[in-house]
Amino acid sequence: MLVLGIETSCDETSVAVVENGRKVLSNIISSQVPIHEKFGGVVPEIASRNHVEVISNVMKKALEEAKVELKNIDAIACTYGPGLVGALLVGVSYAKALSYASNKPLVGTNHIEGHIAANYITHKDLQPPFIAMIISGGHTHLVHIKDYKTFEILGKTRDDAIGEAFDKVARVIGLGYPGGPKIDKLAKEGNTSIELPKTHLDSLDFSFSGIKTAVINLNHKNPNVDKADLSASFEKTVTDILLENTLKAAKSLKLKTIVLAGGVSANSYIRERFMELEKTQGMKIYYPSPVLCTDNAAMIASAGYYNYINGITSGLELNAEPNLKLT
């Protein structure tokens, strides 16, 4: 079964063709990072306009690279939330028009489910149940994935998403946008000697606004603070928190499989620390290949495939849902 995936929830316009939810035939990503870089973050209106400009070409390339025609596609999956409403609307409208014109089923797909599904593409052996730690620019969710379509949220952030904290810290210490990959790189040159606050909540929820503010204040009080040490210490502290909650959840549910997902799962230090659990706790750790960590349409085609084979399709009344929840 061939699913065409369409992703426009933020600042990447992407179209992909994926076979049986796991095999990527094409995954074209047109990134707007250079356009938004000068503003220090994504400008929603500019993002929507750009999606409109490039989506037809991205779609054409995706079909060409996959060596298929629209008539060979079995279903059209598109992200309908969560994300920026104007950006989402471009992909949703495009998918609806394609579905109507080609008489193919339309499958509205949740972006967060897409991030989880990125692991099904990278790891052909991966099957639920497992615990997913979804860490992205917009989300920090600890989820029990019971099967392909049954999820239970165990914990989530009460304030900033972890990616937001990475981006804000990077901006404050002068690294620019997007900050996550820049902190990742700089932290390798520093040590973790700077003490930063860890917010412990009495549930599996997260809070990153305290550490974000602490870094901002520290940098403000002492502009000469070593930026590499600050980056390394920030990374270490947030990773400690992620690990603590993930381990608690895994132990209480007696699950040994942990899956990282979302843009921040590209972080090399976070990956390393989670990988240590394989040796120390006998766990099995999965994370997506780098290109599948950040936003892309292959992950949407994969999640869309699991929707479709579970009988979930959408009508032409499908709308963008900027605050769409996972459950």
Residues engaged in binding ligand KG4 (CB under 6 A):
10, 136-138, 163, 166-167, 178-181, 184, 262-264, 266-267, 294-295
Please say whether the beta carbons of 103 and 316 come within 8 A: no
| CB 296 to ligand KG4: min, Å | 8
Residue 271: CB atoms within 10 Å: 16
Nearest distance in Å: CB 252, ligand KG4 = 27
Least separation in angstroms between residue 290's CB and ligand KG4 is: 8
Spatial distance between the Cα atoms of 260 and 288, rounded to a whole number of angstroms: 7
Give me the 258-297 binding string for Zn ion, x by CB under 5 A, dash otherwise: -------------------------------------x--
* SS3 annotation, 158-218: CCCCHHHHHHHHHHHCCCCCCHHHHHHHHHCCCCCCCCCCCCCCCCCCECCHHHHHHHHHH
Binding residues with Zn ion: total (CB under 5 A): 2
Nearest distance, CB of residue 264 and ligand KG4, angstroms: 4
Rounded CA separation 155/132 (Å): 11
By the 8 A CB rule, do 174 and 126 touch?
A: no
Nearer to ligand KG4, 264 or 320 (CB): 264
Of 14 and 26, the one with the shorter C-beta distance to ligand KG4 is: 14
Query: Which of Zn ion, ligand KG4, none does residue 267 bind (CB under 5 to 8 Å by kind)?
Result: ligand KG4
Q: Which is nearer to Zn ion, 117 or 242 (CB)?
A: 117
- Please give the residue ranges that form the binding site for Zn ion (CB under 5 A): 136, 295
